[in-house]
Amino acid sequence: MSKTVIVTGASSGIGFAVAEAYLKRGYNVVGNARTIERLKVASNKLGNPANFLLVPGDISKPETAKALFERAVQAFGKVDILINNAGIFIAKPTTDYTEQDLDDLLNTNLKGVFFPSQQAAAHMGANKSGHIVNITASIAMQPNVKVPALLPVLIKGGLNNATRALAIELAASNVKVNAVAPGIIATPMHSEDEATQAFFRTLAPTGTTGVTDDVVNAVLYLTESNFTTGTILPVDGGATAGTF
């Protein structure tokens, strides 16, 4: 029987690329985005596969996470993998952050990981198998003076540690919990302005930015490994390796 993966933030960028990769491997994919319109556009790009289930909703709401798992189980029997990909990034000096910035980041980047993970812990724990992968950020492992980003570092850094904590908690249930921490990846989240892109290339010692396949390959490795858990895997051109 084909395995089933839930991908949040599946309508664009890294999430879309992850969903596409699993579909090509014959998995059932349950994709979440805020609106059905965005998911339909993504589905059209993928050729409207029958095994791509669209479940719209605000991922910061517990009812959305519950619906994701209920719909997945109803359609495909069980959930084998959860990719907590939905996220936003707001970089600015600490003194410039607003309460709305904080609320937006907490809702998507923290609640949007906690509630699906809570559902996964119950479902996968009962099945004694499963993988959870959180998409975090390498800047949370190594802050950079060129990119003031206290709130993303605060929240994604917490998620990195939470990944380890949940891995330990679920180890006896044979559920693996890991994270991929991307650096600058070419996605719609980032400006395509050449001056901005040139700046981004200075943020890694390789002098390059990444592409979505770099993150996809890391995710696939983690969900295909039976002996890797509690790991935070940077995909960042060496930006977390030290000063340069």
In this prediction, residue 159 carries a pLDDT of 98
**What would the mean pLDDT of 82-95 be, rounded to a whole number?**
98
Lowest mean pLDDT among 94-98, 189-193, 222-226: 189-193
pLDDT of amino acid 244:
80
User: pLDDT per residue over 153-192, tens digit each?
Assistant: 999 999 999 999 999 999 999 999 999 999 999 886 666 7
CA nearest neighbour of 114 among 74, 64, 76, 53: 64
pLDDT at 60 over 70: yes
Q: The sheet that has 28-32: what strands, in order across it?
A: 52-54, 28-32, 4-8, 81-84, 130-135, 175-182, 232-235
For the segment 223-243, the average pLDDT, to the nearest whole number, is: 96
Fill in the DSSP letter of residue 107.
I
**Cα atoms in the 13 Å half-sphere on the side-chain side of 215:** 31
Cβ-Cβ contacts under 8 Å for 58 (sequence gap 6 or more): 34, 64, 107
Q: How many CB atoms lie within 10 A of CB 99?
A: 7
- H/E stretch holding 126: helix 112-127
Burial category of 159 from C-beta neighbours within 10 Å (exposed 0-12, middle 13-18, buried 19 and up): buried
For residues 4 and 81, the answer to whether their CB atoms sit within 8 Å is: yes
Window from 41-45, 81-85, 193-197, 214-218 with minimum mean pLDDT: 193-197
Residue 140 pLDDT? 97
Q: How far is Cα 30 from Cα 49, in angstroms, rounded to an integer?
A: 11
pLDDT at 124 over 80: yes
Which DSSP state fits 195? Answer: H
Cα radius of gyration rounded to whole Å, the chain: 17
Give how far Cα 142 sits from Cα of 89, 212, 214, Å.
16, 21, 19
What pLDDT shows up at residue 191?
Answer: 66
Q: Out of 9-13, 17-21, 130-134, 190-194, which region has the weakest mean confidence (pLDDT)? A: 190-194
Percent of the chain with pLDDT over 90: 93
Interior angle at CA 64, CA 141 and CA 150, nearest 5: 25
Whether 222 has a pLDDT exceeding 80, the answer reads yes
What is the residue type of 1?
M
Domains with residue ranges and CATH for the chain: 4-235 (3.40.50.720)
